[in-house]
Amino acid sequence: DPADPATAVVHHPRLLAVSLAKLSKAQRAMSRCQQGSGRWRKATARVSRAHQQVTVRRVSFLHGLSKKLATGFTHVAIEDLDITALTTSAEGTRDKPRKNATARTRPNQHLLDAGLGSLRKKLAYKTAWYGSQLVVLDQGEPVTASCAKCKERNPSSDPSCSTFHCPSCGAVVHRHVNSTANIVDAAHRKLKTVASDRGETQNARRAPGSPGARKAPGQGASKREDTG
């Protein structure tokens, strides 16, 4: 719905992919130069500038996106993704090589290019600045494998497929739309749990003591006086 900002889709700019041809050309030129020569130093500088341009554009994009989210919504919900584990070497190790290494490399590049770790850090301090709240879901929340309509979990769901098919209710929806709905539901549940726990804590602090525990004003410890 164009009138509802909560349904807006943020497209991945793929800044690295856009600059990959230029970067690859600069790296090939550098590899043909003799290391330490003047041409090699110039080629190295071109490679560094290409990397720097990608970094600057990514940081600028993430700053704009994080500010838009932090100022446009009272709550921003994200997954607690382990980026390091998700982007481990596509080739694996010498003892445990991975299958389909080429197929794994490109998704890893796209994930790193998105800068999700940097986006989370920016959201953390910008939501605090602008008075909104960042809700980080618990790790293992099955947002990609559960149907947002019937809530049934489909462990055999292929995360690489753009469409989510639910074998229970027959729902067919774009995977990102389904995952987003699950993230929103999980965030609402977490906020309710936090509010409930906070209320119980406040009630415990306000609970009265046992009868007779409090002394009347001015009543102190009794003092025994000798009468003789």
Distance CA 103, CA 37 (A): 37
State the pLDDT at residue 186.
Answer: 94
State the pLDDT at residue 61.
Answer: 92
* Structural domain range at position 191: 142-203
Give the number of domains in the chain.
Answer: 1
Identify the three-state secondary structure at position 172: strand
From residue 124, alpha-carbon distances to 77, 78, 189 in Å are: 11, 11, 20
User: Tokens in use for 181?
Assistant: 């709905």
Tell whether 25 is covered by a domain.
no
Identify the helix (H) or strand (E) that includes residue 127. helix 116-130
Tell whether 161 is covered by a domain.
yes
pLDDT over threshold 80, residue 31:
yes
Radius of gyration of the chain (CA): 28
DSSP 8-state assignment for residue 173: E
Give the model confidence (pLDDT) of 117-143 as tens digits: 899 999 999 999 999 999 999 888 889
Tell whether 51 is covered by a domain.
no
Give the model confidence (pLDDT) of 35-90 as tens digits: 889 888 998 998 899 889 888 999 999 999 999 999 999 999 999 888 777 666 54
* Residues 154-173, mean pLDDT to the nearest whole number: 87
pTM: 0.70
Tell whether 7 is covered by a domain.
no
Tell whether 29 is covered by a domain.
no
